[in-house]
Amino acid sequence: MPAIVLIGAQWGDEGKGKITDFLAEKAQVVVRYQGGNNAGHTIVLGTEVYKLHLTPSGIFYPDKLCVIANGVVLDPAILLAELDNLRARGVTTENLRISANAHVIMPYHRLLDELEENARGAGKIGTTGRGIGPAYRDKIGRSGIRVQDLLETDALAARVEENLAEKNALLTKIYGRPPLRAEEIIAEYSAYGARLAPYAADTSLLINERLARGERVLFEGAQGIMLDLDHGTYPFVTSSNPVAGGACTGAGVGPMCVSAVLGVLKAYTTRVGAGPFPTELLDEKGEQLRQRGGEFGTTTGRARRCGWFDAVVARYAARVSGLSHLALMKLDIMTGIGPLKICTGYRLPNGTVLTEFPLSARVLSQAAPVYEEMPGWDEDVTGVREFADLPPAARAYVLRLEELAGVPAALIAVGPEREQTLVRGKIFE
């Protein structure tokens, strides 16, 4: 049962959308299984650029089943607008199914996300403000509203009223805001329910039926390992599990169906939002990477923080997600940037060099990156289609990164388009 889990192996925005679209050709099913519209996945098809927040990046193939699974938190207005936009651009969305168990982002989630961020002051996480954390909190707290609740107005009304009793107390008493009105929310969300009804399904059943038929399933992760709630740089993380294991809980499949775990990494590192980032460059080099790489958020437009490739992070990602392959993205951005630095460890004030990512936030805050340097190259690589045709220094850089990560780089990207992808190894069986 060949399923591939494709995940971000840094702090998000590694190029997951591009690689999902690239691999979707060889799959029959593409599944988003965690996160929500905090994600922004870019797909470039000729002159058309698509930025998807909730729709799986397999949607451009009309014959693939695309699934938004139970682990996703879904903002119905955003999804419906995204689907309208796709259809207006000639993309069919009839092949989409949404789990009836997916939790719904409500207006109070978005509001609380913003109010809580403001209240954090200097300790801001830098969330995307989409209501992700508050929606997952209600899911865990067992007061969440699911897609299936939107389909029955009576059930929805009861759930909204229960929730507003608590949320309005928070809004008025803690944050000094006016209360929200149940009738308006019920009317708005039951209208979304009517529009989502044709897509709602038992998606775990659909996916497992396809797996049983021997079809190939591609699980498209959102965010990245270092933003994982359990394994990332807590509390500067998102509220879901971007690690590979998240695909099983987020989609209702067993781990035995997964035959490969593909970690997507940039040839350098970026992070958007606050939190530790050991190899961050606050100088000209960082600015050069940002400008050349177009490192501005797909979802919020914020400038992304940029830095050198961190092999400690790559090894950590390989461990916590059992990566079997890497997809190394944006190699073209490194042209003319050399000499290139790679972080191989973190030095602590007492001289100790760590080669494993420290769990202690205090230790991490004292860690200074230890770099090794490699020569760069100046040749344009965007037209290269075979690994052997890359400049020798670029090949050496890739080989060193995979050696340090301990995982082979099966795919290498030299530009945003589908065909700007070099294949070095087989991923699907």
13: contact with Mg ion by CB under 5 A: yes
Q: 128 contacts which partner out of Mg ion, ligand GDP, ligand IMO, none, CB within 5 to 8 A by kind?
A: ligand IMO
Return the number of the residue (13 or 82) whose C-beta is nearest Mg ion. Answer: 13
Convert 186-237 into a string of H (helix), E (strand) and C (coil): HHHHHHHHHHHHHHEECHHHHHHHHHHCCCCEEEECCCCHHHCCCCCCCCCC
164: contact with ligand IMO by CB under 6 A: no
Those residues whose C-beta lies under 8 Å from the C-beta of residue 38, and which sit 6 or more positions away, are: 53, 127, 128, 130, 132, 222, 223, 238, 299
127: contact with ligand IMO by CB under 6 A: yes
Report d(CA 413, CA 264) in Å as an integer.
Answer: 10
Which string of x and - marks every residue 387-416 that binds Mg ion (by CB under 5 A)?
------------------------------
In single-letter form, the type of residue at position 31 comes to: V
Among 2, 15, 35, 40, binds Mg ion (CB under 5 A): 40
Report d(CA 387, CA 115) in Å as an integer.
Answer: 49
8: contact with ligand IMO by CB under 6 A: yes
Pick the catalytic residue from 41, 109, 231, 325. Answer: 41
Number of chain residues interacting with ligand IMO (CB under 6 A): 23
Mark 259-272 as b/e (b = at least 16 C-beta within 10 Å).
ebbbbbbbbbbbbb
Burial class (CB in 10 A: 0-12, 13-18, 19+), 212: exposed
Return the number of the residue (160 or 327) whose C-beta is nearest ligand GDP. Answer: 327
Which string of x and - marks every residue 390-419 that binds ligand GDP (by CB under 6 A)?
-----------------------xxxx---
Q: Centre a 10 Å sphere on the Cβ of residue 380 and count the other Cβ atoms it contains.
A: 13
Among 20, 37, 55, 223, binds ligand IMO (CB under 6 A): 223
Among 333, 390, 394, 422, binds ligand GDP (CB under 6 A): 333
Q: Centre a 10 Å sphere on the Cβ of residue 122 and count the other Cβ atoms it contains.
A: 5
Query: Tell me, what DSSP letter sits at residue 359?
Result: S
Q: Do residues 317 and 10 make contact, with C-beta atoms less than 8 angstroms apart?
A: yes
Report d(CA 145, CA 157) in Å as an integer.
Answer: 10
222: contact with ligand IMO by CB under 6 A: yes
Residue 129 beta carbon to Mg ion: minimum distance, rounded to whole angstroms = 15
Cis ω for the linkage preceding 235 (within 30 of 0):
yes
Stretch of residues binding ligand GDP (CB under 6 A), selected from 10-18, 133-141, 355-363, 400-408: 10-18
Which string of x and - marks every residue 230-269 that binds ligand IMO (by CB under 6 A)?
--------xx------------------------------
Q: 127 contacts which partner out of ligand IMO, Mg ion, ligand GDP, none, CB within 5 to 8 A by kind?
A: ligand IMO
Stretch of residues binding ligand GDP (CB under 6 A), selected from 12-20, 124-132, 347-355, 371-379: 12-20
Which string of x and - marks every residue 14-53 that binds ligand GDP (by CB under 6 A)?
xxxxx---------------------xxx-x---------
Among 9, 19, 30, 40, binds ligand IMO (CB under 6 A): 40
Report d(CA 332, CA 334) in Å as an integer.
Answer: 5
In 3-state terms the chain splits into helix, strand, coil percentages (rounded to 5) of 40, 20, 40
User: Does the annotation count 41 as an active-site position?
Assistant: yes
**Segments of 18-156 assigned E as strands:** 29-32, 41-45, 48-52, 65-68, 73-74, 96-99, 103-104
Q: 15 contacts which partner out of ligand IMO, Mg ion, ligand GDP, none, CB within 5 to 8 A by kind?
A: ligand GDP
Residues lying near ligand IMO in the complex (CB under 6 A) are found at: 8, 12-13, 38-41, 125-128, 130, 132-133, 222-224, 227, 238-239, 272-273, 298
Catalytic residues, which ones? 13, 41
Residues that bind ligand GDP (CB under 6 A): 8, 12-18, 40-42, 44, 294, 298, 329-330, 332-333, 413-416
